[in-house]
């Protein structure tokens, strides 16, 4: 990306993934403006070199003026609600925040000729995949309102691009974990449902034990299997996607994972080897809307973006998550 076009707008940049992407962009010399209403985000995670604006993405006047003033080249859209269990209880709220408000925001971008979008989606759009390693062309079958709202916005972007000069990269995240090696950012959440976050809290004695949500799945040990990608690798994929958008002026959809699955029990066992048996757990019921096995086929984005992971190591992911959790004490 040329330095004459290095202004990037990041929504939800005070969140876990958004803050890591912001840090990387600033490390690479880009000018980043972060907008976040801090409902779930944390101001302390926002890089001090970023231009931070506390506002709702659906505030058309603020967004309109912001885009006119800064002439952004690309917008990276993270803002939204992310808890599967909460979405089952509050589907209308999730539709409002993840689709309706996002649609207003994107339309404001498009009206101001900001037409290159990187969208933070989820592997949850696949539901229970028929294949062990799911590809971007596989059937979409969201099992919960969170995934449904992500898919709705994906489809909105795809349809808009057919009639307008809009270019997008949709990134379907698998399970994002770990923390920046400099510990500038990590996951902060009072109500996290992330396995590795909860295990880290047990490890630093913030919790006495954790609950495994179901051990009766049709998997190798009865617990759900996931593809864990380090958040710093995911941030790098966003950078590569931004460069791809500018150089190719074409749209694409990419699965973001490593292509290797670990069960819940395998993650806990690996953590216990690192920490000398600190993670106590008990078995609970399945969570509504959970899938049994979600692992990426990452070949498409690795080939298209000429990208290779730096942190494809479960032990490293767990160590950085643990070090971040210790920092929060």
pLDDT in tens, 54-98: 999 999 999 999 999 999 999 999 999 988 889 999 999 999 999
**Cβ–Cβ under 8 Å, residues 291 and 128:** yes
List domains and CATH numbers for the chain: 3-177+229-256 (3.40.50.720), 195-226+259-298+311-328 (3.90.25.10)
Average pLDDT over residues 194-199: 95
Q: Is 217 a catalytic residue?
A: no
Q: Mean pLDDT score of the chain, rounded to an integer? A: 94
Q: Using 50, 70 and 90 to split pLDDT, how confident is the model at 5?
A: low
| Range from 54-63, 137-146, 239-248, 280-289 carrying the lowest mean pLDDT | 280-289
Which pLDDT does position 291 carry in this prediction? 83
- What percentage of the chain has pLDDT greater than the value 90? 87
Query: Which residue's entry shows tokens 């086929």?
Result: 297
25: which residues sit within 8 A by CB, 6+ positions away?
A: 8, 10, 32, 239, 242
Average pLDDT over residues 113-136: 93
Which pLDDT does position 55 carry in this prediction? 96
Q: Using 50, 70 and 90 to split pLDDT, how confident is the model at 1?
A: very low
Q: Is the pLDDT of residue 15 over 60?
A: yes
69: which residues sit within 8 A by CB, 6+ positions away?
A: none
pTM of the predicted model over 0.85: yes
Whole-angstrom Cα distance, residue 13 to residue 2? 22
* Catalytic residue chosen out of the listed positions 146, 173, 217, 258: 146
Whole-angstrom Cα distance, residue 103 to residue 60? 11
């Amino acid at each position: 990306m040329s330095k004459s076009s290095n202004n990037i707008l990041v929504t939800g940049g005070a969140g876990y993934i958004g803050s890591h992407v912001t840090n990387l962009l600033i490390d690479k010399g880009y000018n980043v403006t972060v907008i976040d209403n801090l409902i779930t985000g944390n101001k302390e995670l926002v890089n001090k070199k970023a231009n931070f604006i506390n506002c709702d993405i659906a505030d058309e006047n603020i967004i309109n003026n912001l885009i006119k003033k800064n002439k952004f080249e690309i917008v990276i859209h993270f803002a939204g609600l992310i808890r599967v269990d909460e979405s089952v209880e509050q589907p209308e709220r999730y539709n409002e925040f993840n689709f309706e408000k996002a649609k207003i925001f994107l339309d404001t971008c498009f009206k101001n000729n900001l037409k290159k979008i990187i969208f933070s989606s989820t592997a949850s759009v696949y539901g229970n995949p028929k294949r062990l390693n799911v590809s971007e062309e596989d059937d979409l079958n969201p099992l919960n309102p969170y995934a449904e709202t992500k898919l709705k916005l994906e489809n909105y972007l795809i349809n808009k691009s057919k009639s307008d000069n809009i270019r997008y990269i949709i990134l379907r995240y698998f399970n994002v974990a770990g923390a920046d090696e400099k510990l500038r950012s990590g996951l902060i959440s009072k109500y996290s449902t992330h396995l590795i976050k909860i295990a880290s809290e047990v490890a630093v004695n913030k919790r006495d034990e954790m609950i495994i949500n179901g051990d009766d799945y049709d998997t190798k040990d009865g617990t759900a299997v996931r593809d864990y990608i380090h958040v710093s690798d995911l941030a790098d994929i966003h950078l590569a996607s931004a460069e791809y958008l500018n150089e190719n002026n074409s749209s694409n959809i990419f699965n973001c994972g490593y292509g290797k699955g670990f069960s819940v029990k395998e993650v806990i066992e690996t953590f216990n080897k690192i920490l000398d048996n600190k993670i106590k757990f008990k078995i609970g019921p399945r969570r509504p809307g959970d899938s049994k096995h979600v692992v990426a086929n990452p070949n498409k984005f690795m080939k298209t973006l000429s990208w290779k992971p730096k942190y494809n190591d479960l032990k490293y992911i767990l160590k950085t998550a643990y070090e971040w959790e210790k920092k929060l004490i």
